[in-house]
């Protein structure tokens, strides 16, 4: 079975641009979460979606948005990119009623 897949693996953007990151959960998992991991730190929670509805949002500006599609895949969008948005963006999926998340390998975003 495929794990959590994220695309692209690496991305370089210029300040002020917009970026879209994509995530496909494990088959059968209906919940998708997004995390930002800045170099040298632990991941920080951005969003959680379950059954296409936002269930949680971390302390991130409105430039960050996300959505979940009927097939449970998800997109994370970041507008007006700043240098400080450079990070590894991790997607995780989970199955209802089970504790714990399975993570993808992440998208490395560099803003120049």
Q: Using CB under 8 A as the criterion, which residues of the chain lie in contact with other proteins when the complex forms?
A: 33, 35, 40-45, 48, 55-56, 58, 88, 90, 92, 99-106, 108
Burial category of 24 from C-beta neighbours within 10 Å (exposed 0-12, middle 13-18, buried 19 and up): buried
105/74 Cα distance (integer angstroms): 15
In the complex with other proteins, the residue whose CB is nearer, 25 or 106, is 106
Closest CB 90 distance from other proteins, rounded Å: 7
DSSP per residue, 36-105 = EE-TTS--EEEEEEETTEEEEE-S--TTEEEEE-TTS-EEEEE-S--GGG-EEEEEEEE-TT----EE--
Q: How far is the CB of 78 from other proteins (least distance, A)?
A: 19
Q: Which is nearer to other proteins, 13 or 58 (CB)?
A: 58
Between CA 34 and CA 71, with CA 97 as vertex, the angle to 5 degrees is 50
Please report how close the Cβ of residue 103 comes to other proteins at its closest, in angstroms: 4
Q: How far is the CB of 75 from other proteins (least distance, A)?
A: 19
Choose between 79 and 102: whose C-beta lies nearer to other proteins: 102
Residue closer to other proteins, measured from CB, 17 or 48? 48
């Amino acid at each position: 079975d495929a794990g959590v897949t994220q695309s692209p693996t690496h991305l370089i953007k210029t300040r002020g641009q917009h970026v879209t990151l994509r995530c496909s959960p494990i088959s059968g998992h209906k919940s998708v979460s997004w995390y930002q991991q800045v170099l040298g730190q632990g991941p920080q929670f951005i969003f959680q979606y379950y059954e296409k509805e936002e269930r949680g949002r971390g302390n991130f500006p409105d430039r960050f948005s996300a959505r979940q599609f009927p097939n449970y895949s998800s997109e994370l969008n970041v507008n007006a990119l700043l240098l400080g948005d450079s990070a590894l963006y991790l997607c995780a999926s989970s199955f209802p009623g089970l504790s714990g998340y399975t993570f993808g390998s992440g998208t490395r975003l560099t803003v120049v």
